[in-house]
Structure 1
Amino acid sequence: MKKYFLIGLLSVSLCSLAQESLPLVVQQKNELDQNSWVKNVPFERIYTPEIGNQINHFDIRKDNPLEWMVAPASGGLWLSKDAGITYENIFQNQPTQQIKTFAVHWGKGIIWVATPYGLFTSKDKGNSWFFGGLPEFKTIESVHINPRNTDEVVVAVLGNPFDADEKRGVFKTSDEGKTWQHSLFVGNRAGVSQIIDTPNGQTLFASVWHDESTTWKSIPYGSMSAVYKSEDFGTSWSKVSTDGFLSGNFIGKIGLAAHGDEKVYAVVDNRGSKTRSVATRNLAKITNIHLLERDFEAMNKTDFLNLDDNKLNAFLHAIGQDKKYTAQNLKDMISAEITSPARLMIFLGIRQQEVIGAEVYVTSDGGKTWQKTHSQPLEDVFYQNGNQFGAITVDPNNDKHLFIGAYPLLESLDGGKSWQSKHNVSLDDSFEKIYYRNNTLYATSKKGLAISYTQGKDWIFRNVPQSVSFTKIGYDKHQKSLFLASEQGVFMSKNNIWTKISSQRQLFGSENDIYVGSGNGIFYRYNVEKNTFLRLKSLYTSENKAPLRFGKQTPLLVSQHNSDVLYVGSNKMRFSSDRGQNWRTISEDLTIGSKKGNDIYATISAIAESPLSVGLLYVGSDDGTIHITSNGGTTWQSMYASNSNAFKVNNLVASKHHQKRVFATFSHPDKTNPEPLIFMSEDQGVTWTELRSNLPDGRINIVKEDPKNEQIIYLGTDSGLYVSFNLGESWHSFGSLPATGILDIFINDGTSDILVSTAGYGVFKSSLEVIQPLRVAIVAQDFFPLREKVRVEHSNRWGNTWSDWESPELPITHFEVFASKEMKLQIKIMKGKVTLQSFTYKTSKGFNYIPYDMTISSVGKVMFERVAKRISLETASDGRVYLPKGEYTIVFSVEGGFDEERILEIY
């Protein structure tokens, strides 16, 4: 390992990918998996509430609408043959379960899927897979297979959303992915977000999206956004969004839907400034539908605090400030009298600037001419979040019947001239992808795949079971309650019953103190016993120097030394000694500083408190700073400040084993960059040691120390779960989990159980009991059984059943052993000198879990009864004989001539 001062270090790339038959990162991951000591550690799924999951893509078979495929976010590729009643994962043994989009030729069973590692393809409906090319390509949005020649495939590449990227546009292969041609390139900040085909199979339309966004400012529009057309299945392209189409510098994302070969509808995110007409403004004042900045001018404090939160949030959406503030944030500022309603916008440094938003255009001549379908504006459809949508679909049997998906679901029966809402509008949910066929409307949201047979009036969900993601795990030891946080809210399991307790999305604390939050600095304390919430006092209280900046994932820390003490990070540190009823500021701005933009930036992103020293705190920011205080915030010292690249500090962990040890993980400002950045300091942040070693690519989401063994660290990354037994000198991957990201890790200090939350696959559980004691002395041996005694509770139901219709209970236990290499074992179960059962096992290097079914062989039964004389062993209904209660000897005979013995107790 190398030692560094952290200043400026992170501007250096830690690895690069090479063009191989498989991407280098996949080869590295495969090699790590094969050599891992913990690849055999078993995990079991913890069944959690079915909350749904965002859907990245779905495809309905046109000649059989009961059959479809769906790709949940980070959740694999699933095939259903009965309209979503049951599902089969057809991509589960591949290098990743993160699929952005896919294409399927239903007749031939050919599938192409887009992953972070590139394209994979199957010719047999998912039974086998091959790498299809395009490694290192970021954000592949659309894939199409030529129905006349399946060797030809076109791919839409959006590219890096945060930087210039030459690998954007349309790429085409004519030889099943062996070689690729870059057939459309518009600009290094303009990628292709969608490709649609037409009935003739050869005419394609592509939507180009110009996006100049940065980490702190959303600029998802530009002059290069346009519609292109190809008449030779993607070999050549021409721009067709000219005559009558939206022009200028404010063209955002474009969504397309075709009816026939010549008619195409486009829903466009028009980011041009909008001034509401006098009639609209008067109507807004009369009906109080919309809030305007000038409405605040005559308001007093009471009037402002009585404003409807939904309308105030809609106002923030309309002016593009919903990512930085909520209605409650504004009310907290006014309540704390930091400013007045009349001066609020000036105080925040923002001004009202609504955009035109959703517009629908149509061409009936293949793109030669276009016209806008509606004369009246489509108000409050996208607000300023049109970059999240672009969903439009047309009825194949009626070219005048359209749907648009956004915050509302809109339907038109006259070709887009007039529209009506089909669903209650919610700013917390939306329609992301929509598809209409055979009088059935399919739609996706963060809750999953929904189907309507009533034109959007009523919905049913058809989600993949347990395809769920939880961002945080919490546990109340006193009440023995498990908590899980997700985009859909916070859920609690008590007595194995799951209940949704809050719509908030953040979860903090453990043991006896549970807090939830909605981001932006708004928190509640939850009383598990009474099932009640108490909102913490406004964090703006006693802070009137400048607006506080709270991130969407505002960190809150409950002190390990005093549970009444809370710390919250905005751009400054706030402190409470009475569980959030009063606050004071204990630092100046601990970030590099705010940048002008409409996205949240320059906020505190991580807080850690030393469990060994009261008042020793570490604080990290999303623009690349780390500060330390050893006296509870009286004085602060900067330990790291990024220069050219502002890497986000996404984890800080103060060691529970050594007072001066601290771990820090970072994420790249380019969120598509997968470098795993982890460092350790043994001197409170003065110098840092890089711990990446043999870790494969994958952004780090969570780091945990082992509570018992100071040499062990656990990491959850976008590529899986890892453990180091030597403080980061080398890493091992847990191979029995799905190949997806790990969002959180929880370790129960008392039981040594570990819970891990996966991206797209729910929560899994295992035991660290035999892993934690690992020492150099054990590793140095060729073979070592890890338990002195294996205890198993006896059951009279072993091999038996109480009903002819029920399968017998088949017991299984495991003998955990550590092996330094592959070797052959013979395992004997003995009573005295009698061998009751004998079997062989081939170990792999590392931890092995040798299964044993508790049975006695026929010869062992005879020998046992002969020695015991008065004991007769009964045969179970499954025809087997099982061990009775008692103590037995497990003999491990290692190839090469030595034995190890341990005790097996059946009690």
Structure 2
Amino acid sequence: MSFNITKSIFTILLTIVFSIQTIVSLCQEAFTAKHINGLEWRHIGPFRGGRSCAIIGVSSRPETFLMGTTGGGIWKTKDTGLHWENISDGFFGGSIGAIEVASSDPNIIWVGEGEQTIRGNVSPGKGIWKSDDGGKNWVKMGLDQTRHIVRIKCHPKNPDIVLVAALGNVFKSHPDRGIFKTTDGGKSWKKVLFVNDSTGAAELCFDPVNPRIVFATTWNMRRSAHQMSSGGPGSGLWLSTDGGDHWKNISSHEGLPTGIWGISTVAVAPSNNDVIYAMIENENGGLFRSNDAGKTWKLVNSERKIRQRAWYFSRICIHPKNPDEVYALNVSLHKSTDGGKTFNTVNTQHADHHDMWFNPEQPNYIAVANDGGGQISDDNGKHWSPQNNQPTAQFYRVTTDNHHPFRIYVAQQDNSTIRIHHRTEGYSIGANDWEPTAGGESGHIAIDPMNPEIVYGGSYGGYLNRYDHQRNISRSINVWPDNPLGHGAEKLKYRFQWNFPLFFSPHKPTRLYAASNHLHVSEDEGNSWRTISPDLTRNDSSKMKASGGPITKDNTSVEYYCTIFAAAESPRIKDLLWIGTDDGLVHVSMNGGNSWTNVTPIELPAWTMINSIEPDPHQDGGCYLAATGYKNGDFLPYLFKTKDYGKTWKKITTGISSEHFTRVLRADPVRSGLLYSGTEYGIYVSLNDGVNWQSLQLNLPIVPITDLTVKEDFLIAATQGRSLWLIDDLGPLRQYQANSKNKKHILFQPKSVLRTDGGSTDSKFSGTNHPAGAILYFYIDSIQAKDSFSFFCIDSNKDTIGRWSNSFSDEFTEKIKLKSGCNKLEFSLRKKPAKSFDGMVLWWAGLQAAKPRLGNYKMYIQGPGLFDSTEIRVIRNKKYPTSDEDVEQQYQFIDAIRKSIDKAHKAIIEMRDIKKQLNDFCNALDKNSKTDSLFILKEAIDSTLNKIENELYQTKSKSNQDPINFPIKLTNKLAHLIALYEHGNYPPTTQAEVYRSETDELIQEQLKLYEDIKNGSLRYFNQKIREAELDFIKPKNVK
């Protein structure tokens, strides 16, 4: 009998692989949204406004305004910009290009998706929305394929008549662009102005007197991954005299420029409809004015400051009462009071202005939208509402450091990079908890693995610097210090993308990588660089020309193409490098860059940008990539994985919606096959290595996810328009197994609890802090109204820390709500605070229990057919240079104080109750020879109890400042030690312990006197009552 060993081994391996895939696949099949619906995203800020391109007010409600943001949806303020609230969450989100409030009914609001500032990373939209109740509810009203809606105008008398200006798909030719009209409130739409499939509408306005007269502009433009084109056939100025049903091109009217037009905008003066302004991108362009309703025109200003970067700006706004007061929106906000002849700059909160609105009845109310969000003025532009109250930042990449607790690093569009604490020792994450760091608005950030105070950051133009936070020192360390601004990429020595990769080796902490179209490495903190790869891109010179033409060039490196866009070194194998380019290539080097192999997935469409690349942390030859083709007009998701160093790839997008194009994929470092993907419209998770995906959106708003990172137990998401969010504990995702499918209950192992100060409170101006104490997740397959579940937690001494139940509450048990599916319980591991009483006034004191002691706690859960338990471990905060013994000393010190104060305050409550009973009893007695001794004894007891209480507590203090007048007493003095020494993780000082002991002795002396009263005079009083056959008095049992 023959035996083929090779064939047999191959068969066995195939069987093993198939079995593993089957188990993994079963895990995802059993896993449903119900298993994770207890997880939550926590928003940490920062509150620093990101780009807004649309803003409007409600003329009849002058303090109410609406703002549309880039990626962040719709926001509303009712107090002139002091507070903003999102009103689109739960309905839609993402990039907003236009907002309109019907002047005839302010409850009717229209919103168009897809911003009009078509940057290189612009996000498209999916149509138009309508609200009939001021933004409480929204209904989708079509126009899905218009992609970028830049202006909406309601008929001033009939809110069912609406005109919409749409740029259309900016990345490819498409017929759904131009001017659209509805006469039935959005039920049906008619395309009333269409020029060609490359020309969309850029502006739209009614004549303020006659709504049958409408002006519009059209714009031939195109975005691609490597170029922006502004101008060409079809661009122009248009007029309708029948309410938008028919249009006439008036671009050739007298005084208007000849030749190629780019973007143009138009506005009619509300106070004089003969006066019209137009900003036109043209070789001889600028601000034009007509004094005869558009019949003839005159160039009134061609200054570069009001027309630079025309495609990004160009909007104009006219004062509602003065036709000569006109505003040009550009980098700065420019104001003219002489009909556009001269302009002066108006100071606002931020640069790069995209929209402006005047209240037509009260024009001192003004709103502007810029790259810092929305700002409101109620004094004609002298002062503006803040930008640091809007959590709408747009971030690029996200990373973390090795500080304890770790910090998060991101770069904000048109702002600085920042590092921000993921949790604080306060009760929120505010402006004091983040700061600028290395790099610029668009860059990757890399933190020295050995010293988190040393940070490296990139930005556009190949800029790179090293920042020392400890010394506040910055050093430029560009790989090649050639400033390319204004130039195309074809003649550059190195092509650095706007968002070029920068990262440290996971194997050699002094090795820093940076990527252009080559991969570069430095071993000496950027002092010198060497190139370790050839050009790894397609190197197509036809896609490296200057961008922005044919009229205005625009070269900031956003459009620099044929560059490395994603790069990483395997965390498992030293010198195993993976490279992904923006022109759709993937390379691998297994020898530190000495040689490279093209391993581009066959199924990946050509020129599809590799947006992220992720070496598998669990398999040597494994790697994942996320690619996106939206800059080619392709909105499909592209995720791939390889297990053999890129020799073969498998597409893994099952379960991801067809238009949720993918930006990032990250592998969980703890659980093999657990993957997270960020898309244009949210986050997905896979438990089976990408075989299937399901939503991980939970409470996260609909927003583009630009990057993800996993740190410890946390999943961190950078967004384009809603700042930073994270999940605090990935335990349920990491612990769920296929055999959990039939389990009625699952108690997940909670993560370790950091022994630290702080907690979480709601705030409209700051991020949400990590909750204090423990986070427990538990799954209940189905819960009925009659089902009772109880939880109780004990410490290592078997002392009960807390009790919870869904069916009852008492003084020891907190009632909680439970649901079918995954439940979340957040609770403090502190014991109960010292007792307080009504009217208590303490000065600089604390009654709280000590932070939990280090070690293991036990949580038990009991319910129908269930009794289970899990351990919760409390760990030391390594931020503090102290030992476990120091922490235990602190715990014992604070706990001793708490117990002493608790006993004293309970005694005070008892004494007050005794005095009340004595008074009530004696007031009901007749004073005679039989009762005289009781009255005398009552007075003596009263007097003694008063003296004891006044030694323990200052009874004269009735308001917060009274202790300045009336000296504090013993329990206040002891409680002051809690205020001084409970924070941090330090042991008490020698003097603190001596003082505690001395003060506690004084308290015990008073409590001894009280015990003497209870056991002596009070018993004697009751004895006298019994002898007189009267009711007796006893102390109240105070818990």
Do the structures match in fold with TM over 0.5? yes
Moved more, 118-127 or 200-209: 200-209
Moved more, 77-86 or 705-714: 77-86
SS at match of 2:43: strand
1:245-256, aligned counterparts within 5 Å? Answer: 245-256=255-266
State the partner residue of 1:42: 40
1:420-819, aligned counterparts within 5 Å? Answer: 420-422=343-345, 429-436=351-358, 438-439=363-364, 442-451=367-376, 460-461=385-386, 464-478=389-403, 480-487=406-413, 488-493=415-420, 497-502=433-438, 504-505=440-441, 506-510=443-447, 511=449, 512=451, 514-539=455-480, 547-593=493-539, 594-595=541-542, 596-598=544-546, 599-640=559-600, 645-668=606-629, 670=631, 673-696=634-657, 697-734=659-696, 735-749=698-712, 752-787=713-748, 815-818=776-779
SS at match of 1:649: strand
- 1 CA distance for matches of 2:456 and 2:828? 45
Contact 2:202 2:219 in 1 (8 A): yes
- 2 CA distance for matches of 1:754 and 1:403? 45
Name the aligned partner's letter for residue 723 of structure 1.
V
Distance 1:692 1:59, change over 3 A: same
SS at match of 2:254: coil
Deviations 1:671-702 (A, max 9, x none): 66432211101111111111111112323232
Aligned-residue offset at 1:632: 1.3
Contact 2:444 2:502 in 1 (8 A): no
- 1 CA distance for matches of 2:445 and 2:664? 14
Aligned-residue offset at 1:843: 4.1
Contact 1:719 1:742 in 2 (8 A): yes
> Who wins on radius of gyration, i.e. which is larger?
2
Distance 1:196 1:424, change over 3 A: same
Name the aligned partner's letter for residue 294 of structure 2.
G
Name the aligned partner's letter for residue 583 of structure 2.
D
- 2 CA distance for matches of 1:906 and 1:534? 43
Aligned-residue offset at 1:179: 1.3
Contact 2:731 2:751 in 1 (8 A): no
Name the aligned partner's letter for residue 409 of structure 2.
F
Contact 1:84 1:463 in 2 (8 A): no
Aligned-residue offset at 1:257: 1.3
Contact 1:228 1:237 in 2 (8 A): yes
Aligned-residue offset at 1:141: 1.1
Moved more, 508-517 or 187-196: 508-517
Which of 178, 189, 192 matches 1:183? 192
SS at match of 2:735: coil
1:58 equivalent to 2:46? Answer no
SS at match of 1:144: strand
State the partner residue of 2:98: 101
Aligned-residue offset at 1:103: 1.1
- 1 CA distance for matches of 2:128 and 2:154? 13
1:901 equivalent to 2:868? Answer yes
Aligned-residue offset at 1:216: 2.0
Aligned-residue offset at 1:566: 2.1
Aligned-residue offset at 1:745: 2.3
Which of 411, 422, 428 matches 2:335? 411
State the partner residue of 2:218: 208
Contact 2:181 2:244 in 1 (8 A): yes
Name the aligned partner's letter for residue 586 of structure 1.
I
Q: Larger % of helix: which?
A: 2
Aligned-residue offset at 1:588: 2.0
- 2 CA distance for matches of 1:887 and 1:562? 39
Distance 1:670 1:762, change over 3 A: closer
Deviations 1:84-129 (A, max 9, x none): 1223322222132432222112534001112323222111111222
Contact 1:701 1:742 in 2 (8 A): yes
SS at match of 2:212: coil
SS at match of 2:144: coil
1:193-232, aligned counterparts within 5 Å? Answer: 193-200=202-209, 201-232=211-242
Aligned-residue offset at 1:177: 1.7
Tell me the C-alpha RMSD between the 2 structures: 4.0
- 2 CA distance for matches of 1:794 and 1:688? 45
Name the aligned partner's letter for residue 723 of structure 2.
G
Aligned-residue offset at 1:585: 2.1
1:873-892, aligned counterparts within 5 Å? Answer: 890-892=860-862
State the partner residue of 2:959: none
SS at match of 2:678: strand
Unaligned runs of 5+ in 1: 1-31, 273-355, 799-809, 857-870
- 2 CA distance for matches of 1:791 and 1:551? 41
Contact 1:146 1:152 in 2 (8 A): yes
- 2 CA distance for matches of 1:733 and 1:222? 42
- 2 CA distance for matches of 1:180 and 1:212? 25
- 2 CA distance for matches of 1:425 and 1:811? 39
Q: TM-score, normalised by structure 2?
A: 0.66
1:24-39, aligned counterparts within 5 Å? Answer: 35=33, 37-39=35-37
Name the aligned partner's letter for residue 185 of structure 1.
F
State the partner residue of 2:135: 126
State the partner residue of 1:286: none
SS at match of 1:77: strand
SS at match of 2:788: strand
Q: How many residues are matched? A: 749
Distance 1:756 1:842, change over 3 A: same
State the partner residue of 1:325: none
Aligned-residue offset at 1:359: 0.9
Aligned-residue offset at 1:719: 1.0
Deviations 1:374-394 (A, max 9, x none): 4xx4235434x2110112112
State the partner residue of 2:77: 80
Which of 243, 267, 271 matches 1:257? 267
Distance 1:815 1:237, change over 3 A: same
- 1 CA distance for matches of 2:384 and 2:754? 48
Distance 1:93 1:838, change over 3 A: same
Distance 1:654 1:838, change over 3 A: closer
Name the aligned partner's letter for residue 730 of structure 1.
N
Which of 156, 159, 179 matches 1:150? 159
SS at match of 1:520: helix
1:849 equivalent to 2:816? Answer no
- 2 CA distance for matches of 1:33 and 1:389? 48
Distance 1:812 1:685, change over 3 A: closer
Aligned-residue offset at 1:822: 7.4
State the partner residue of 1:136: 145
SS at match of 1:721: strand
Unaligned runs of 5+ in 2: 1-29, 114-124, 425-431, 483-489, 547-558, 760-770, 795-799, 808-816, 840-847, 875-1039
SS at match of 1:665: strand
1:365 equivalent to 2:374? Answer no
State the partner residue of 1:269: 281
- 2 CA distance for matches of 1:244 and 1:653? 59
Q: Larger % of strand: which?
A: 1
Distance 1:689 1:565, change over 3 A: same
Q: TM-score, normalised by structure 1?
A: 0.75
Distance 1:123 1:564, change over 3 A: same
Distance 1:755 1:222, change over 3 A: same
